[in-house]
Amino acid sequence: MQIIKHTGRLKLVLSRYRKQGATIGFIPTMGALHPGHLSLIKQSVITDDITVSSIYVNPTQFDDKSDLKNYPRNFKSDYALLKSEECTIVFSPDNKEMYPRPDNRRFNFGRMGDVMEGKMRPGHFNGVAQIVTKLFDAVQPHRAYFGKKDFQQLAIIQKLVNDYDIEIVACPIIREKDGLAMSSRNSLLSDQERNDAPAIYRTLLLVKEKFRNRNVKEAEKFVEARINKYTSLKLEYFQIVNSITLDPVDEIASTIPLTACIAVYAGSVRLIDNIDIFS
Ligand code: PAF
């Protein structure tokens, strides 16, 4: 496995592979890798000739500076995990490499960018789009792999790649045995928060089971009461949206695909999850 820190070198190495006709799969990450990330790497190793992963904690997508400071960083163990999965190249640039000058680009995602994460974390998706476009330009992959846990990010990136010839591969959420969606942030949970956090997925399962053909308001009340009864949990938002447009809906009717999305604070750690209501 090659570790590359500069975009120029990355482009050169990949152009050689491309000339040989190799297909390139790409998994962008912010490190602190867990089995969810590794499932994306595995998928690319099976599908593509070359697998490139990036490790870069992108400052422009953090609206909260203390969240950026506390974001877990484990470069050494990340490299070891990527090597054991037979990743071909790791790209791990520093801030000067990715932002030699401020990036003033402003992306417009339409209504899709204004709900849920877009509403709660102003500027977050603009920062994601800045770094993902820089990384796509550097790697020029045939396929890029993203997890469905970041459901809205996935929809926004799918919109973004209309300008690129890249296939976006959406991969299933990987969960702990107790249902908690795997996330780099889980390592920041206290014992009490970790004990309470599986209630998030259990609540989503109950919504899926009990609220078909009912009003979203009823589901919202149910979710708020269930989550907030745990001392360490605080609901930030629960929303049911059209799975394609991300427009919020009022009725849980099976005429369109719907996804229930949730963000919860476990102490100071923000966790997100989602479930497809009709699958
Ligand atoms: O999902 C993530 O880890 C990040 O948002 C991404 C796509 C690597 C961009 O920094």
Q: Confirm or reject: Cβ of 117 under 6 Å from ligand 1.
A: no
Nearest to 82, CA basis, from 46, 48, 128, 35: 35
Give nearest CA residue, ligand 1 atom 3. Answer: 29
Query: Domain for residue 57, yes or no?
Result: yes
Q: Confirm or reject: Cβ of 128 under 6 Å from ligand 1.
A: yes
> Could you identify the atom of ligand 1 that is nearest to the CA of residue 58?
10
Give nearest CA residue, ligand 1 atom 6. Answer: 29
Query: Domain for residue 178, yes or no?
Result: no
Residue found by looking up tokens 């490139």 in the block: 52
**Averaged confidence pLDDT in the chain:** 97
CATH number (domain holding residue 196): 3.30.1300.10
The domain boundary residue, chosen from 171, 195, 223: 171
The domain boundary residue, chosen from 150, 171, 192: 171
Query: Domain for residue 51, yes or no?
Result: yes
Residue 104 and residue 225: Cα distance in Å, rounded? 42
Active-site annotation holder among 34, 37, 124, 142: 37
124 is catalytic: no
- For every residue of the chain, DSSP letters joined together read -EEE--HHHHHHHHHHHHHTT--EEEEEE-S---HHHHHHHHHHHHH-SEEEEEE---GGG-SSHHHHHHS---HHHHHHHHHHTT-SEEE---HHHH-SS--------GGGGTSHHHHHSTTHHHHHHHHHHHHHHHH--SEEEEETTSHHHHHHHHHHGGGS--EEEEEPPPB-TTSPBP-GGGGG--HHHHHHTTHHHHHHHHHHHH-TTSBHHHHHHHHHHHHHTSTTEEEEEEEEEETTT--B-SB--TTS-EEEEEEEEETTEEEEEEEES--
Residue found by looking up tokens 């990715």 in the block: 98
Check: CB of residue 263 under 8 Å from CB of residue 117. Answer: yes
Nearest to 244, CA basis, from 151, 164, 171: 151
Give nearest CA residue, ligand 1 atom 8. Answer: 29
For residue 279, the model assigns a pLDDT of: 87
Q: Confirm or reject: Cβ of 32 under 6 Å from ligand 1.
A: no
Q: What percent of the chain has pLDDT over 90?
A: 98
Q: Confirm or reject: Cβ of 28 under 6 Å from ligand 1.
A: yes
- What is the CA(128)–ligand 1 centre distance, in A? 7
> Binning pLDDT at 50, 70 and 90, where does residue 162 land?
confident
- What is the CA(61)–ligand 1 centre distance, in A? 9
Give nearest CA residue, ligand 1 atom 2. Answer: 29
Give nearest CA residue, ligand 1 atom 5. Answer: 128
For residue 227, the model assigns a pLDDT of: 98
Residue 139 structure tokens: 């790697």
CATH number (domain holding residue 80): 3.40.50.620
Supply the pTM of this predicted model.
0.97
Query: Domain for residue 177, yes or no?
Result: no
Q: Confirm or reject: Cβ of 53 under 6 Å from ligand 1.
A: no
Compute the average pLDDT of residues 191-203. 98
| Side chain identity at residue 227, one-letter code | I
How many domains does the chain contain in total?
A: 2
For residue 15, the model assigns a pLDDT of: 98
Q: Confirm or reject: Cβ of 58 under 6 Å from ligand 1.
A: yes
The domain boundary residue, chosen from 140, 171, 202: 171
Query: Domain for residue 89, yes or no?
Result: yes
Q: What percent of the chain has pLDDT over 70?
A: 100
For residue 78, the model assigns a pLDDT of: 98
> Could you identify the atom of ligand 1 that is nearest to the CA of residue 28?
8
Check: CB of residue 37 under 8 Å from CB of residue 29. Answer: yes
Burial group, residue 47, by CB count within 10 angstroms (0-12, 13-18, 19+): middle
pLDDT of 254 higher than 90: no
For residue 266, the model assigns a pLDDT of: 98
Q: Give tens-digit pLDDT for 81-116.
A: 999 999 999 999 999 999 999 999 999 999 999 999
123: left (phi over 0), alpha (psi -120 to 50) or beta: left
Q: Which domain holds residue 46?
A: 2-171
Residue 58 and residue 51: Cα distance in Å, rounded? 21
pLDDT of 127 higher than 90: yes
Query: Domain for residue 244, yes or no?
Result: yes
- Residues composing the chain: 279
